[in-house]
Amino acid sequence: MAQYNILGWTEKELAGQPWSYLIHKDERSAILAKLQENQINSKIT
């Protein structure tokens, strides 16, 4: 069963969005997502 957030997006749909961490219900997941994004960005540069 798909979990929907306030905006009606499923978690799977949110996973592909770069801004998904901003509206994630779980703050720890949001922090992890931001850290992962920073790691990816630092590898590119």
Domain spans, the chain = 11-44
Amino acid symbol at 20: S
Give the closest residue to 29 by CA, choosing from 21, 19, 17: 21
Query: Tell me, what's the pLDDT at 12?
Result: 67
Give start and end residues of each alpha helix (H) in the chain.
11-15, 27-44
Average pLDDT over residues 18-34: 66
Q: For residues 32 and 39, give the distance between their C-alpha atoms in angstroms, rounded to a whole number.
A: 10
Amino acid found at 14: L
Q: Is 8 a residue whose pLDDT tops 60? A: yes
**Confidence band for 36, pLDDT divided at 50, 70 and 90:** confident
Residues 6+ away with beta carbon under 8 Å from 24: 5, 14, 30, 33
Predicted TM-score (pTM) of the model is 0.35
pLDDT of residue 20 exceeding 60, the answer is no
